[in-house]
Amino acid sequence: MDDAQAMQRCIRLARNGAGSVQPNPMVGAVLVQGDRVLAEGWHRAAGGPHAEVECLRAFGEGPVPADAVMVVSLEPCVHHGRTPPCTDLLIARGVRTVVVGCLDPNPLVAGRGIERLRAAGIEVRTGVREAECRWLDRRFITAFEQQRPYVVLKWARSIDGFLDRSGSREGRGPQRISSPGTDVLVHRWRSEEAAILVGARTVVNDDPHLTVRHVSGRDPLRVVLDRQGITPAASHVYDGAPPTLLITSAQRAGIAAEQHLVAPGDDPLDATLRELHRREVRSVLVEGGGELLHHFIRRGLWDEARVITGTVTFGAGTPAPTLPLAPCRSFASGTDRIDLFTRTDAPDDTWAW
């Protein structure tokens, strides 16, 4: 098994941590000897053992063969956090060769892990499937390189290009566009992001829960951008479980949410992303409404977009946003079409849902 093949296995293992490791990165590790896989592991949850630790635990307490190679998708850590440095463990267990997918952008690591291993006499090979490893941990990497969460936009549109049929609402509730099978996929998307953001008008009109219900997974932090204080206190997003962060301009009483005040002259998008970054929220799924999505697109504050086109026809209504680039991939989900957009180059095996 060559380095590239072993790294591909690391990436697949690392994906098992999707939705459960934030604010940490997803990481996989494989210990190989020639064509044999001796052990493997992945980071399962924030605060738990890192991938290298899981891999060596799976291998057992015996001596690591001199010709065994530890392959890991992200540079081993060299600092004390909630767990000890992985570099120290690799040195102590007598690992002779380490293959690394990409460097850790955290300033506490940032090449120092590789330097520590090499200083101990360990051969280190780097840059194996680097683009794929960076894509795997794009949320974590964006946080350190751009000082903001990774932003994913999502909306559903009618086949004739509208988000809703304006003026036809009777009471609060969403207007159905996507199929039940696509709804399951959307809830999986929610489970993989750290936060979910909507504007005030979406809360007023649709009264969404913004939780994960159709799949097993962790609920994201719910974030409501409501500078004017128009969202009803009885809305589902203020039911207290999971927690909600309200971004507003004036403190509100009787709201079951933590409140972050935005100064009148401060840009609300910048303020929201800044506060989420301060909280180590690595990613946010922006689900609407149309005005909020337009603001993110106009500012260029997005990294991915996922657009669902259903089979319904509205004839008139709120126009769906448009993006200044072509989709990088499209696929069918039942009767719906899903177009995926990214502002950076993505590997062929990009989305593994």
Q: Which residues are catalytic?
A: 52
Q: How far apart are CA 120 and CA 104, in angstroms?
A: 19
> Beta-carbon neighbour count of residue 188 at 10 Å?
17
- Please list the alpha-helical segments (H only) found in the chain: 3-14, 51-59, 86-92, 112-119, 130-136, 138-146, 180-192, 200-206, 268-278, 290-299
CA atoms of 314 and 297, how far apart (whole Å): 24
Count of C-beta atoms within a 10 Å radius of residue 247: 23
Q: Let me know the angle formed at the C-alpha of 294 by 142 and 269, rounded to the nearest 5 degrees.
A: 50
Tell me how far apart the alpha carbons of residues 23 and 293 are, in angstroms, rounded to a whole number.
Answer: 25
Place of tokens 């994913």: 152
For residue 119 the two structure tokens come to 């200083």
Is the CB of residue 320 less than 8 Å from the CB of residue 161? Answer: yes
- Across the chain, where does the E strand assignment appear? 28-33, 36-42, 69-74, 97-102, 123-125, 150-157, 162-164, 195-199, 221-225, 244-248, 258-261, 283-288, 304-309, 318-319, 329-333, 336-342
Torsion angle (degrees, nearest 10) of CA 51, 53, 54, 58: 140
Other C-beta atoms lying within 10 Å of the C-beta of residue 173: 11
Alpha carbon of 94 to those of 56, 116, 135: distances in Å? 11, 14, 30
Is 42:27 a contact under the CB 8 Å cutoff? Answer: yes
How far is it, in rounded angstroms, from Cα 344 to Cα 304?
A: 9
